[in-house]
Amino acid sequence: MARTKPALATHTFRAIWPVLTPPTTAKDREALIHEASQDLRDVALRHRAHITGPGKGYIVPGHGMPGANGAAQVVVIDAPAEPIKRPYHR
């Protein structure tokens, strides 16, 4: 019997964290992204999403970004995800 490929994720979960102290070195940037990635699964669960694969993290200007709360920069992580079914959907 032939194996089938797993289905590709059809949803992307995006989480945003305001940066309070702008990073000055690449090491600082990596540390901020790493810290956010450690928090990603908990944030996704609060929004009823299950992360299904590795995410991509980056730092961008916060101006106009939802969730920036006025911060000059934000950490953004985009990751493949699936919605968690709600108990009233049967």
**Model confidence over 36-70: pLDDT tens digits?**
999 999 999 999 999 999 999 999 999 988 878 88
Nearest to 36 by CA among 48, 26, 28: 28
Is the separation of the CB atoms in 22 and 75 below 8 Å? no
For 72, the 3-state DSSP assignment is: coil
pTM of the model: 0.80
As a whole number, mean pLDDT of residues 12-18 equals: 94
Q: Is residue 56 part of a domain?
A: yes
| Number of domains within the chain | 1
The Cα 45–Cα 42 span in angstroms is: 5
Q: Is residue 6 part of a domain?
A: no
Range of the domain at 19: 11-83
Q: Is residue 3 part of a domain?
A: no
Q: Is residue 1 part of a domain?
A: no
Q: Is residue 28 part of a domain?
A: yes
Which tokens sit at 63? Answer: 């101006």
Q: Is residue 89 part of a domain?
A: no
SS3 content of the chain, % helix, strand, coil (to 5): 25, 30, 45
The Cα 41–Cα 12 span in angstroms is: 13
As a whole number, mean pLDDT of residues 25-39 equals: 94
